[in-house]
């Protein structure tokens, strides 16, 4: 009677395992279809710019995904517990003669459990990857739409900024040209002054030798100072006019 009771216990465990495996198989098929339809609906909505809402929107699919994930995890846990009980049964005294057949059956159920677990995690991982990618793309599209909606106001402001920037660049370029002209003029005047000093030194030497030329040299010096004053006034006025134009 003990052997008969043990045999019935084993058969009960096998029935529980097969029942859970059948439920898992159906759940995994529905779970895979849900993930596929989720991806398809995302692709359809990406290509459709209308405001129509699909019959099964993504928020509903997300809730169904969470619910089915919990149900499948519970079934996997129950099937694991049944397999553990079957493993314990194979180690009980009095089952040595049937141990090979029991171990074969147990291994087959373990393989099925492993396959279902692997399929569940793979499908779940694909679903989460698609959802994360689509959430990221949706965020990017939202940012683009926000930018487009505000671009009409920003275009005028950007145009004004660009014009002001161009005006500043032109002013800087004009200032650089003015400074370059002033430096070149300074160098030219320095060179001319050196030449004039040399000439004046020679003329003074001649004047000291020939007093009659002294009056002529004085008139020349007066005219030279007058010309220098006029030239300096002209350069100053031109510089002021250039500065006023640059900062206008």
Q: Choose between 83 and 137: higher pLDDT.
A: 83
pLDDT digits (tens, 9 = 90+) for 172-214: 778 777 777 877 777 777 777 777 777 777 766 766 666 666 6
Write down the pLDDT at residue 96.
59
Sign of CA dihedral 118, 120, 126, 128: negative
Residue 120 scores a pLDDT above 60: yes
pLDDT digits (tens, 9 = 90+) for 53-103: 444 456 788 888 899 999 999 999 999 999 999 988 888 776 656 778 888
CB neighbour burial string for 30-40, b if at least 16 within 10 angstroms, e if fewer = ebbebbeebbe
pLDDT digits (tens, 9 = 90+) for 11-36: 999 999 999 999 999 999 998 888 88
The CA distances from residue 213 to 131, 151, 203, 222, 225, in Å, are: 105, 81, 9, 15, 19
Residue 9 scores a pLDDT above 80: yes
Architecture of domain 2-40+56-143: Up-down Bundle (1.20)
Residue 45 scores a pLDDT above 70: no
Residue 2 scores a pLDDT above 50: no
């Amino acid at each position: 009677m003990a052997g008969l009771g043990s045999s019935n216990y084993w058969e009960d465990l096998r029935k529980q395992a097969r029942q859970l495996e059948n439920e898992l198989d159906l759940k995994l098929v529905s779970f895979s279809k849900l993930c596929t339809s989720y991806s398809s609906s995302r692709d359809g909505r990406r290509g459709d710019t209308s405001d129509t809402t699909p019959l099964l929107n993504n928020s509903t699919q997300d809730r169904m995904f969470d619910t089915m994930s919990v149900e499948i995890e519970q079934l996997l846990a129950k099937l694991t517990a049944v397999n553990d009980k079957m493993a314990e049964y194979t180690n009980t005294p009095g089952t040595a003669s049937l141990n090979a057949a029991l171990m074969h059956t147990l291994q087959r159920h373990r393989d099925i459990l492993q396959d279902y677990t692997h399929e569940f995690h793979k499908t779940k991982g694909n679903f989460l990857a698609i959802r994360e990618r689509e959430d990221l793309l949706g965020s990017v599209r939202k940012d683009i739409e926000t930018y487009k909606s505000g671009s009409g106001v920003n275009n005028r402001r950007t145009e004004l900024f660009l014009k002001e920037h161009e005006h500043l660049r032109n002013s800087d370029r004009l200032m650089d040209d003015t400074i370059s002209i002033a430096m070149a003029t300074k160098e030219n005047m320095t060179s001319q002054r050196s030449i004039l000093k040399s000439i004046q030194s020679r003329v003074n030497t001649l004047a000291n030798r020939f007093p009659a030329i002294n009056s002529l040299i004085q008139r020349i010096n007066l005219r030279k100072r007058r010309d220098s004053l006029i030239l300096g006034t002209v350069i100053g006025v031109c510089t002021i006019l250039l500065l006023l134009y640059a900062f206008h």
